[in-house]
Amino acid sequence: MKVLATRKDESLFQGLSRTEEISPGNFGFYATWIALAVILSVFVISALYISHIYRTNERNDIAQSAELLAETVDARLSTTSEAVSRYSFSIFHHPNWRLSTRAQGLARRLMESRPEIVEISLVKDETVLTSYASGFAFEALSLPAGQKLAMQDTLETLKRAHDSETALFSNPYFYKGNSTPYINLIVPSTNNEAIIARISLAGFMHQVTPSSLLDRASLSLKVNGKKFISTSSVAQTTEESFDILLPPLPPAVTLSVSPFNRPFLFTKDLSTLSILGLGTALLVAFLGLAGFQIRQRRTSRHLLAESVIRRAMSESIASGLRVTDMRGMIVYVNRAFRDLFRLGNKQIAGEMPPYSYWSEHERDEYLKLARDVTDGENLRRQFETTVTRPDGTTFIASIELNPLTDDSGNQIGWLEMVSDITEAKKIADELARGRERITKVLDSIDSAVSVLGKRNGETILLYTNPTYHNLWGDDPSPHQKLVSEIPNKDASSGTLTGIIHYLPEDKWFDVRERELVWTDGLTAELQIATDITERRKNEELVAQQEKKAELSSRLITMGEMASSLAHELNQPLGAITNYASAALTLMQMGKLSESDCAQAFNKVSNQAERAAAIIKRIRSFAKRTAPEMTPTPVQKLIDETMELALIQAKKRDATVKLDISPEVSSVVCDAVMIEQLLLNLLKNAMEAAEPCENHEITLTVKPLEAEHQVAFEISDHGPGIPADVKAKLFEPFFSTKAEGMGIGLNICRSIAEMHQGRLRVEDNPGGGTIFILTLPAYTEGAAFQA
């Protein structure tokens, strides 16, 4: 950037500049003191920075010393462990030394060479064999022979040492109220024997800690974060402490290092004072430059104008830029502006309205707009318009006008930003048309469609179709209530679905909901609720009709058995009549003894019970009750079914053969419903075999171990079922009988599925058909859900 402007530059920037002189009494005076404050601030900050550097270096030095101390602790404890291990080897490999004066002498020499060891004890299992105290009176400790080790941590460390066969250190502890902390070094041997060396932590740390580190920081030993021992100092420590592990001690033991506070401008030399002195010398030199500011008035004016333009360019470089002064003269246009109007390398800086790039037939309109901008009347700061280029082509432009102001807030010109939004408008129009089409589709469907989102922390409906609006208006609570009652909200597929009973209106809805991004980028929830109340009513009606059909089928079967039933009842009723008549005749003749009377009445009672049992079976078969799933013995189920089936068998001259596996016991079912199902299948088999020579029907019962079910197979030797008929056999209202209603087998399959079983048909290899019913086998303690 040039400091002195040429005459041409001076004419261009004349409109952006203020013509007042810069007075030494205002700008120059304040600028000088501002600069003075800045210089002083720089040098003070420099001094503080140097002080900070010194403190940082000292902290790093303390950290290095602490790391070195940790290595020293490691080396010292390791050599101590080796020395105690050698002592252990000497004692335990010479059994006659263990309690001798020689062992005591070796222990004394070991503790003299390692002053931190205050006691050495020989232990077998958890009992002290002997103990040797240190020669230092203030640290003298000795455990009596025969004493049991009581400290839990020592016992645990002893066990781990024997298990790992390595020397281990225990956690620090205080012994019998003594303020000095200790640790135990345990060296294991064979036969559950070990050497325990008690080490004074205070004495140990005193030996290994350098005085240079104690002068600069406070040291503390911590166990599990709790301070155990620390160096005493009158200096105040900082809170910026750091912890170091001390192997081979347990990981719970750490060394905490807290550097001492230093003065605010702490240095080890006179660097800070030298910097402040140099700053003072430079300040004096700066005062001599104050007069030079006046001579830079014109240069600063042009620098101000250029900085305004460059700032506007940096903020709006993505759009076409045009900078004008208050008179409308073009001061600057960027490359994007020239490309937008296809000006090439043509220079239009310095032009006054009307500009050369304006279209001739629209020049008057643009000139009026430029005058409005200059005068500040009817000004629109941002608008869209169709612009014609000099070559006759047009584009849709978004134009934004921003005023340019100087440091005093006075306007010195205008910045015009022009963007080509032709493609954006096309895309927006296409999106609008697409949204309109989608909206029309959603508005035309019968389901309630709603979009729920949050704006400014408030839950609102972003869209509702007429169906939703007619049901609930603009209330978002039905949307929220419907989705909250979806039973299984596994959205792995992206869509939540469920059948919901909306109690406020006693309606059923098929609800589907998923997340989507709304047109403004907001995350929203799309819900489609289809009213299925009528469908549910129809389904319930169909279920009721099926139950009625089931009852009708049962009554029809009972009606078909009426004549056979009358024949069956004739036998017990005739027997009752005969027994009663004979007894009456004998009684009149005086030949009826008391025993004969009792025998006659007993036979009458048996025949009456037989007739009652037949009637009871018919009544229970015809009685319509709710399903009652209970464990039912298979044999009982077959016996009660056969009582009614044999009536049909006699009527149709058929034979029913039973083949029941001894491995089956009970099934879970409603006994009456399964009896009806089996009776219906047996009756169908008898009807199918009636026109054939072989009238034998076989009922086979066997377990299905793999499926944990019991299979009932009813086979006949009839003509069989064609493949096309077999495909429709279980459909409602399909029948092969002239008088059939076509609901019997459909009801049978529904009963089987209600019992979590299956009903299927297969061809009999010997000719005929096999119907196979499977029911869940009963297991002790198992629960059954219908």
DSSP state for residue 28 in the 8-state scheme = I
Contact indicator for 145, 131 with CB cutoff of 8 Å = yes
Domain boundary among 624, 647, 677: 624
Domain boundary among 263, 295, 327: 295
Contact indicator for 647, 565 with CB cutoff of 8 Å = yes
pLDDT at residue 8 in the model: 47
Question: Is residue 413 situated within a structural domain?
Answer: yes
pLDDT at residue 635 in the model: 92
Same domain, 99 and 116: yes
Q: How far apart are CA 298 and CA 178, in angstroms?
A: 85
Same domain, 548 and 682: no
Question: Is residue 39 situated within a structural domain?
Answer: yes
Query: 717: which 2 tokens?
Result: 């030797």
Span between the terminal Cα atoms of the chain, in Å? 90
Question: Is residue 685 situated within a structural domain?
Answer: yes
Query: 125: which 2 tokens?
Result: 């299992």
- Provide the b/e sequence for 725-739 (b: ≥16 CB within 10 Å): eeeebbeeeebeeee
Same domain, 62 and 158: yes
Contact indicator for 396, 384 with CB cutoff of 8 Å = yes
Residues 611, 613, 618, 620: is their CA dihedral positive or negative?
positive
Same domain, 411 and 460: no
Max Cα separation, the chain? 166
- Report the relative pairing of strands 696-704 and 655-660 from DSSP bridges: parallel
Q: Which helix (H) or strand (E) holds 639?
A: helix 634-651
Rounded to a whole number of angstroms, the CA Rg of the chain reads 54
| Mean pLDDT in consecutive groups of 10 residues from the start of the chain, 786 residues | 42 52 52 70 75 80 87 90 90 79 87 89 90 70 82 90 91 81 91 91 86 83 83 60 85 86 60 66 67 65 73 67 84 81 81 80 75 58 79 83 83 85 83 78 83 84 86 88 78 78 86 82 85 84 72 60 54 68 79 78 75 65 65 90 80 88 90 82 88 87 88 91 80 56 67 88 89 89 53
User: How many domains is the chain built from?
Assistant: 5
The CATH number for 403's domain is: 3.30.450.20
Question: Is residue 303 situated within a structural domain?
Answer: no
* One-letter amino acid of 5: A
Same domain, 596 and 648: no
Strands, DSSP E only, in 346-482? 382-388, 394-405, 411-420, 448-455, 458-464
Q: How far apart are CA 371 and CA 328, in angstroms?
A: 8
The CATH number for 653's domain is: 3.30.565.10
> Tokens 């049962």 sit at which residue?
554
Contact indicator for 715, 685 with CB cutoff of 8 Å = yes
Residues 6 or more apart whose Cβ sits within 8 Å of residue 173: 151, 153, 181, 182, 183
Contact indicator for 711, 704 with CB cutoff of 8 Å = yes
The CATH number for 596's domain is: 1.10.287
Same domain, 138 and 243: yes
Same domain, 338 and 462: no
DSSP symbols for 713-734: EEE--SS---HHHHHTTTSTT-
pLDDT at residue 137 in the model: 47
For residue 359, give the 3-state DSSP assignment.
coil
Q: How far apart are CA 761 and CA 720, in angstroms?
A: 10
Same domain, 695 and 553: no
Q: How far apart are CA 75 and CA 577, in angstroms?
A: 118
Contact indicator for 237, 227 with CB cutoff of 8 Å = no
Instruction: Residue 786: name the closest of 706, 672, 669 by CA.
Output: 669
Q: How far apart are CA 688 and CA 761, in angstroms?
A: 14
Contact indicator for 151, 174 with CB cutoff of 8 Å = no
Full domain range(s) for residue 394: 317-420
330 to 348, 365, 397, 404, 416: CA distances (angstroms): 7, 18, 19, 13, 11
Query: 472: which 2 tokens?
Result: 């609930």
Question: Is residue 308 situated within a structural domain?
Answer: no
Same domain, 646 and 603: no
- Three-state SS string over 336-356 comes to HHHHHCCCCCCCCCCCCCCCC
Same domain, 365 and 382: yes
Same domain, 163 and 82: yes
The pTM (predicted TM-score) of the whole model is 0.35
Question: Is residue 707 situated within a structural domain?
Answer: yes
Question: Is residue 190 situated within a structural domain?
Answer: yes
Contact indicator for 122, 193 with CB cutoff of 8 Å = yes
Q: How far apart are CA 484 and CA 503, in angstroms?
A: 13
Same domain, 148 and 44: yes
Q: From the CB of residue 653, how many other CB atoms can be counted at a distance below 10 Å?
A: 10
Question: Is residue 40 situated within a structural domain?
Answer: yes
Query: 480: which 2 tokens?
Result: 């929220």
Domain boundary among 531, 556, 586: 531
Phi, psi of 596 (to 5 degrees): -65, -40
Q: How far apart are CA 228 and CA 8, in angstroms?
A: 82
